[in-house]
Amino acid sequence: MNVKVKEGALLKIKLGQSYFAFGRVLKHSEMAFYNYQAFTDVVDMSDIYSAPIAFIVPVYGSAKKSGRWSFTDIRPLEQSLLKQRLYFMRDDATGQYSLYKNDTGETYPASQDECKNLERAAVWEAEHVESRLQDFFNGKSNKWLQQLNSGMEKAL
């Protein structure tokens, strides 16, 4: 099933057998994932939209369009979700850091400190996002996030 998913769409993500998480489609392949979980199929949309954002990452289009995650709602994006985000990159051979602008594809040299609290530039698969959400809600570290950041901890 190939579904057209537009900016502002809210997608419901089934996690295991017992609960759901929610992600919002942003610009430039990004999705915002809410710090909100539901244990029933019926939820109050205002509860989701008022929840804080757990994390924002670029996600493959196939994850959004395959029907694996179900369309739930659509609303215009809030200003906070429209702002440009930076991601970090690290050349494993040289150890050099750079900042990556997801909206333009531009990169700039950066210090390690400038990269500390940023997501690493990567596009996430559906199953990796689901794993990260499950671990987030269970208070565990996520193996995919650890794998992406493996060089960063050593450098810090």
25-62 tens-digit pLDDT: 999 899 999 999 999 878 899 999 999 999 999 999 98
Residues 44 and 61 grouped into a single domain: yes
Residues 102 and 139 grouped into a single domain: no
Residues 89 and 79 grouped into a single domain: no
Distances (CA, A) of 128 to 57, 132, 133, 144: 11, 6, 9, 7
Average pLDDT over residues 2-10: 81
pTM of structure: 0.90
Boundaries of domain holding 30: 1-83+122-143
Tokens describing residue 138? 């269970």
Residues 55 and 132 grouped into a single domain: yes
Domain count, the chain: 2
